[in-house]
Amino acid sequence: MKKVPIILVDMDGVLADFDRHFMVVWSARYPDRPALDQSRRTSFYIKDEFKSEYRQDIQSIFEEPGFYLDLPPVSGAVAAMQAMKRTGYDVWICSSPKMNYRYCAPEKYQWVERELGTEWVERVILTRRKAMIQGDVLIDDQPDIPFSETASWKQALFDAPYNRNHSSLPRINWLNWKTVLCDVLACVP
């Protein structure tokens, strides 16, 4: 029997457009503070792009009710997830909740139900240590995932301005996902 590849897909920055939504909220709440040009990002953590004096204000946005629920989908993400599943991959959403998870964790489930459908809710894995989750490929925008050297999966780095200096990982986006997954899994497209 042929093994069905397990594909793990991160949420924030891969399925849900975390940066775009954050900047909308940030600009509305603090119109006098500098905005962030996302195309010039250099750090995975958005808080590192701002002055340290703004960190508490940034954190409070992440922790407020509705922030995760209101994230718009990344362009092409929903269609790609449905297509991956139709292709025959065993697709799971693997996301790290914030440590202050009061709203974050339940809103991630609500977001998945709204954007992908009820059948996807049982395919959500929330963990602070993705390397412990079994799979063949992890699609994630974080270039340095803790303990990834012990993981069963290979990472495909979801392309973003802040991770473009990490050339050793295969790059993936919602236009080239079929080709990249086949390359990583050594299959025939």
**Catalytic residue set:** 10, 12
Return the number of other C-beta atoms located less than 10 Å from residue 178's C-beta: 14
The DSSP line for 69-118 is TTPPBPTTHHHHHHHHHHHT-EEEEEEPPPSS-TTHHHHHHHHHHHHH-G
For residues 136 and 149, give the distance between their C-alpha atoms in angstroms, rounded to a whole number.
13
Amino acid at 50: F
Query: Is residue 7 within 8 Å of 158, Cβ to Cβ?
Result: no
